[in-house]
Amino acid sequence: MTRTIFCNGKFVPESEAVVSVLDRGFLFADAVYEVTSVLEGKLIDFNRHMARLRRSLAEIELTFPVSDEQLLDIHRELLKRNEVRQGLVYLQVSRGVAERDFVMSNVEPTLVVFTQKKDLLGNSKNASGYRIVTVPDLRWGRRDIKTVQLLYPSMAKMIAVKAGADDAWLVEDGFVTEGSSNNAYIVEQSGDIVTRNLSNSILAGITRQAVLEYAKEAGIKIVERPFTVAEAKNAAEAFATAASLFVVPVVEIDGDPIGNGKPGPVAQRLRDLYLEECRKRAF
């Protein structure tokens, strides 16, 4: 079955989903994106993703005329046409096609939306846990904007893969910022959960927002502050969150086991809590 993609205002077969080489997304990484997960054919945290998309667009001053309702229709139509029950929907808005120039002109934005079928729940790493290596955070200073400038995160991921690990945690001034494409957490010996506070240094993860909300409702204490690599290595547990991962335990950092080197109970509890709550709200 050939995949249907939404491109340039139309649903087209993958082979016809093409964008000009002059698109500013291609030439300048002048584009923002969202990835929404799908369980049982329903969109998870869709409204939160659209709210973050609007914020990213505003931060780069990109005027985008398509409404959230229209975007929801496009997402649903793609899920239907591509028969996706579990997986991801990727959405990208770039500034559009313009003569190459550092000055941004007011052109028509390019919207691309496609689906990826994925066994998100069957990901075996959720049972065995992630092994992490730490690398310097060499990204730009506006990591709060979800732009397609993903070269360094991709390089960091490759450093991890070449080292036989699953992902990289990025480190700045001795403190963990976040994972290559996820938010990072530790569970202190006291049981408190620590995750870096929001700022320009990290992306405000949608899964982070939802997990923290559900955890607080369940009476679990969360402390939002930066933590060091040494603190992480001495923590009772560690874990990461992202739309494509939900909550995934971290069992090793730079070769040192975290806790007893096995996925911890707090990470497991938060994963169960998140999956239960996000499914209730899915549509």
Residue with smaller CB distance to ligand PMP, 4 or 181: 181
Q: Give the nearest distance from C-beta 138 to ligand PMP in angstroms.
A: 13
Window contacting ligand PMP (CB under 6 A); options: 20-28, 53-61, 123-131, 205-213: 205-213
Window contacting ligand PMP (CB under 6 A); options: 92-100, 129-137, 203-211, 271-279: 203-211
**For residue 10, what is the enclosing H or E element?**
strand 10-13
Q: Give the nearest distance from C-beta 151 to ligand PMP in angstroms.
A: 13
Smallest CA-to-CA distance from 238 within 132, 154, 153 is with 132
Helices marked H in the chain: 24-28, 46-59, 68-81, 125-128, 151-162, 206-217, 229-233, 265-281
Q: Is 203 in the site for ligand PMP (CB under 6 A)?
A: yes
Neighbours of 123 (CB within 10 A): 14
Q: Is 196 in the site for ligand PMP (CB under 6 A)?
A: no
Smallest CA-to-CA distance from 236 within 263, 255, 272 is with 263
3-state SS, one letter per residue, for 27-45: HHCCEEEEEEEEECCEECC
Q: How far apart are CA 51 and CA 73, in angstroms?
A: 16
- Spatial contact of 177 and 196, defined as CB atoms under 8 Å apart: yes
Residue with smaller CB distance to ligand PMP, 216 or 262: 216
Retrieve residue 65's tokens.
């005329």
Q: Give the nearest distance from C-beta 121 to ligand PMP in angstroms.
A: 16
Q: Is 92 in the site for ligand PMP (CB under 6 A)?
A: no
Of 42, 146, 157, 280, catalytic? 146
Q: Is 206 in the site for ligand PMP (CB under 6 A)?
A: yes
Scanning residues 18 to 77, which ones bind ligand PMP (CB under 6 A)?
Answer: 35
Q: Give the nearest distance from C-beta 125 to ligand PMP in angstroms.
A: 16
Q: How far apart are CA 132 and CA 223, in angstroms?
A: 22
Helices 206-217, 46-59: axis angle to 10 degrees equals 130
Neighbours of 216 (CB within 10 A): 11
Q: Is 241 in the site for ligand PMP (CB under 6 A)?
A: yes
Q: Please indicate whether residue 146 is annotated as part of the active site.
A: yes
Scanning residues 247 to 276, which ones bind ligand PMP (CB under 6 A)?
Answer: none
Residue with smaller CB distance to ligand PMP, 212 or 258: 212
Q: Is 201 in the site for ligand PMP (CB under 6 A)?
A: no
User: By the criterion CB under 6 A, which residues form the site for ligand PMP?
Assistant: 35, 178, 181-183, 203, 205-208, 241-243
